[in-house]
Amino acid sequence: MQVKWTQDLSVDVKEIDAQHKELLRRISGLDSAMKQGRAREEIFPLLEFLEEYAVIHFRTEEVYMIKYRYPRYQLHKAKHEWFAEEFAAIRKGLEKEGATPEVIVRSNNLLITWFCSHIRTTDAALGAFLKPKIVKL
């Protein structure tokens, strides 16, 4: 599956878009590393970076939500928490069994399918809420 940021994924908030671009770039790197069966030494740093960056990114969105009193904050935050749990489970699977087809499918489902759909729906709704409130995006 192609993982690339395209204009239709824009949520109209510059900082959030920039982080989404970087996340998708890293997800793409991890996806190819796993599919090419590259060594654990290569896969694990990618995974660690991604996990850390995802936390930073979610925090950025949540700070916007708090600052502008976003009414769906709790719901959106719960989705981020779910992502973090699923990510940790995938990492454990990788540590235990390596990049098996099952782990790759689960990882793709979360990082590509879930994440892109989260951007298009949940983050897009946040962007639409923030846009009129932030003078300079």
In whole angstroms, the minimum distance from the beta carbon of 80 to Fe ion comes to 6
What is the residue type of 47?
L
Given 47, 110, 115, 123, the residue binding Fe ion (CB under 5 A) = 123
Residue nearest Fe ion, Cβ-based:
123
**Which of residues 31 and 123 has its CB atom nearest to Fe ion in the complex?**
123
Residues 59 to 118: which contact Fe ion by CB under 5 A?
61
**Which of residues 43 and 115 has its CB atom nearest to Fe ion in the complex?**
115
Q: Report the C-alpha gap between 68 and 60 in whole angstroms.
A: 13
Site membership for Fe ion, residue 31 (CB under 5 A): no
In whole angstroms, the minimum distance from the beta carbon of 58 to Fe ion comes to 6
In whole angstroms, the minimum distance from the beta carbon of 56 to Fe ion comes to 12
Q: Report the C-alpha gap between 110 and 115 in whole angstroms.
A: 6
Please identify, among the stretches 30-38, 42-50, 97-105, 122-130, the one whose residues bind Fe ion according to the rule CB under 5 A: 122-130
Binding residues for Fe ion (CB under 5 A): 61, 123
